[in-house]
């Protein structure tokens, strides 16, 4: 009986810790728009930056959460559909560096 109580307490603690991780992600988000970031690399005018698991940086726009870095690519949508073509260099995209830097600050 004592062993079952200890196992239950450990499992409860693990669930509590796992739950805290999710709410921390939600609180770490930051609204960002084309008016604030130059050059703006997206075809949408605004989004919500977030950091997940201390390293995965995403931006949510139009109800979809897109990966901004390699860490996020395995779990979140590809940025391609909203990533703006670079008008200065044919065949390339506008760099997401400034968005990524802002998102990484949320991880720290």
pLDDT in tens, 4-45: 333 333 333 333 233 333 334 445 599 999 999 999 999 999
- Largest distance between two CA atoms of the chain: 71
The pTM assigned to this predicted structure is: 0.74
The first and second tokens of residue 108, run together, are 């720290």
The first and second tokens of residue 43, run together, are 């075809």
Beta carbons within 8 Å of 82's beta carbon, 6+ residues apart: 42, 43, 44, 61, 62, 66
Say if CB 42 and CB 95 are below 8 A apart: no
Confidence of residue 51 (pLDDT cuts 50, 70, 90): very high
What is residue 3's predicted lDDT score, i.e. its pLDDT?
Answer: 42
């Amino acid at each position: 009986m004592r062993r079952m109580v200890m196992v239950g307490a450990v499992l409860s603690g693990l669930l509590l810790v796992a739950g805290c991780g999710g709410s921390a992600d939600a609180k770490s988000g930051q609204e960002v728009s084309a008016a604030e970031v130059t050059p703006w690399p997206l075809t949408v005018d605004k989004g919500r930056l977030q950091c997940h698991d201390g390293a995965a940086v995403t931006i949510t726009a139009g109800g979809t959460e897109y990966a901004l870095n390699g860490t996020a690519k395995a779990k979140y949508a590809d940025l391609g559909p909203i990533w703006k073509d670079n008008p200065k260099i044919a065949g390339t995209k506008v760099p997401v560096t400034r968005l990524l830097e802002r998102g990484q600050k949320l991880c720290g």
